[in-house]
Amino acid sequence: MLLTAALSFVLPYAFCIQAEAVVQAPRPNIIWIMADDMGFSDLGCYGGEIETPNLDQLAAGGLRYTQFYNSGRCCPTRASLLTGLYPHQAGIGHMTSESIDQSQDKGYKGYRGALSPASATVAEVLSVAGYRTYMSGKWHVGTFPEAWPLKRGFQRFSGLIRGASNYFRPAPDKLLMLETTPLKPDDDFYITDAFTEWAIEYIEDAEGFDDQPFFLYLAYTAPHWPLHALKQDVDKYRGKYLMGWDALRHSRLARMQSLGIVNPSWELSDRDCREWNSLPEDKRKEMDLRMALYAAQVDRMDQGIGRLLQSLRRMGELENTIIFFFADNGGCAEGGDLGAGPKRQLETKEGYYLSYGRGWANASNTPFRRFKHWVHEGGIASPLIVHWPAGISGQGELRHDPIHLIDLFPTAMELSGADYPVERDGYSIPSLEGISIHSTFSGDRLPNRSLYWEHEGNSAVRKGDLKLVARHGGDWELYNLEKDRTETQNLARKFPQLVVDLASDYEAWAKRVGVLPYPPRRRPGYFPPNRVYPDTWQDVERAERD
């Protein structure tokens, strides 16, 4: 991999503000921690009842952002995060391959199903700038070896190449790797704990490089389905959710209002599922268990983050380590109102597609509309916690600027003093789409700008406080997010010219980055090659014997 740096390069807006002062000081270690399929209101410090004392502690000693956005789904979010580009520019306008062939490569530039070679990753850029670069967790931006983390700038990696997996017994086709070796889990394996352990191993490895700061990307799969959790964690929550999702939404909303996370004038979005009290008692008990499992997954992730913080304290590195915590999309309603998967598999190590359902996802995304996949606020709004004792003086403060995960790459560049390349392996690289948020640490406001989304035909543009959004095949809806971030008062008929203007802005962006009206089936005449992986460890062992 060859990166060619620009002789002079200036990002739009405020990228270079205070860059000289940052570089002169000891450069911080940088940690990105990402949850998977976690809703906006799940954390204690964002109004949730789930026990997250370690993340709450980071929030109390740092900043919480109330208007941070992701890209609405796993792979597009990861592509944007790692490249600082919109997903289509990075080659992942839809998803990566989860089947035995490269079927998600549609043969179009924005839909190749793996990170584009014409994009630089944050790991590539920071490694050139002298950082140790580590990753633990879920990759999911390229299934095939040439697209794996160790080929995209990470010096050490352990985790999943593909997406969701059984937490106890990941199948071989998920490509669970320990560095460069496929890992067959032991009987006591639990994937959230494994990701934590590898992350701790990597930052301790960095102690051997005193002259180099480190960058760690810790991408948990929690609390993505399947609903797999450890009994001691589940027991803490059994019975707590018999109140139902209606009561849970209202109790969370009250806490969010008292914390200043949401504006008390915003209406709570409509319930997007059946009424809790309409369920028979046995189904309510089952749904209590499903939510208890989900809460236990979040709880266990927080416990792991606590262990990581303990290691940083022991190393004397917590003071000058900047930690960002966020989620890849909103709560997930896959599986319908009552979730997917048989009740008999709950609280076992079996199963795969076990989910908590639309009712609980609606509560996770309090107070917003819709879910993962959509680009209404429920699909794209995420907590963002930033903690950096050496660089942030305002402890426990809130920031209300609209922020997008495309902004985290340029922020890392400013903090590290890194240069952004103009070429990678002979390919010209697009300019970064985001801006540094470093100035917000001291309370400065970011300039007004437009932000964009598209996934599966769901489309949106936000310009200032105005947001134009449509679900696939639906009409444009217009909202004033300052007054109505829960998207309950559609202004499209009242202000038709604003709809026309914002739609024109969106279409220009979509054309520029390579959005197609809907993910294509396949370009005519384009047939990606088959890449076959085994489904079970028995298949691997049989092949080795043969």
What DSSP string describes 140-204?
-S--SGGGSGGGTT-SEEEEESSS---SSS--GGG-EEETTEE----TT--HHHHHHHHHHHHHH
Q: Which of 184, 206, 426 is nearest to 308 (CA)?
A: 206
Give me the pLDDT at residue 5, please.
63
Q: How many Cβ atoms sit within 10 Å of the Cβ of residue 343?
A: 14
Residues in the chain: 546
482 contacts 402 by C-beta, under 8 angstroms:
no
- Please pick, among 88, 140, 373, 387, the residue that the annotation labels catalytic: 140
Q: Model pTM?
A: 0.93
Q: Which amino acid is at 233?
A: D
Q: Which of 168, 108, 175, 172 is nearest to 143 (CA)?
A: 175
Give me the pLDDT at residue 525, please.
66
The 3-state DSSP class for residue 436 equals coil
Reading the block at residue 251, the tokens are 């109790």
Backbone angles phi, psi at 223, to 5 degrees: -100, 35
- Please pick, among 45, 74, 75, 332, the residue that the annotation labels catalytic: 74
What CATH class is the domain 3-84+124-447?
alpha beta
Give me the pLDDT at residue 7, please.
32
Interval 322-374: pLDDT, tens: 999 999 999 999 999 999 999 999 999 999 999 999 999 999 999 999 999 99
- CB-count burial class (<10 Å; 0-12, 13-18, 19+) for 94: buried
**Is 273 a known active-site residue?**
no
% of residues, the chain, pLDDT over 90 = 82
Task: List the Cα angle 253/282/354 in 5-degree steps.
Answer: 70
Q: Is the peptide bond before 367 cis (omega within 30 degrees of 0)?
A: yes
Give me the pLDDT at residue 16, please.
33
Write down the domain spans for the chain.
3-84+124-447
Please give the Cα distance from 356 to 155 (Å, whole number). 36
Please give the Cα distance from 524 to 522 (Å, whole number). 6
Give me the pLDDT at residue 387, please.
99
Backbone angles phi, psi at 216, to 5 degrees: -120, 130
**Is 74 a known active-site residue?**
yes
Give me the pLDDT at residue 115, please.
94
Give me the pLDDT at residue 178, please.
96
Residues of the chain with pLDDT under 50: 7-23, 99-100, 540, 543-544, 546
